[in-house]
Amino acid sequence: MYPRIRNISFDCHDTYALAGFWSAVLGLGASLVADRRNADGTGWAVLADPQGNEFCVLRSAGERVTTTVEDQA
């Protein structure tokens, strides 16, 4: 039996760094499979690596609260 990674979290408080992350992920061959994001910051994006293995990217609760507060200001 081999160990399996079920969840990896990346916290990002810098929107430019987040944009760079998406650019790097997609530049490495990942493709967007499904976009399940909502306007309020909840939800996730489903990506697939070049071999077709799917993984999800979502925002932390802290990022959602920060974005909601900044959007209301």
DSSP assignment of 3-14 equals: ------------
Question: Taking the model in full, what pTM does it have?
Answer: 0.55
Q: Is the pLDDT of residue 34 over 90?
A: yes
Tell whether the model's pLDDT for residue 53 goes beyond 60.
yes
Share of the chain above pLDDT 90, in %: 5
Asked if residue 69 has pLDDT above 50, the reply is no
pLDDT bucket at 71, cuts 50 / 70 / 90: low
Tokens of residue 13, six digits = 């408080």
Higher pLDDT, 8 or 53: 53
DSSP string across the chain? --------------HHHHHHHHHHHHHTT-EEEEE---TTS-SEEEEE-TT--EEEEE--HHHHHHHHHHHH-
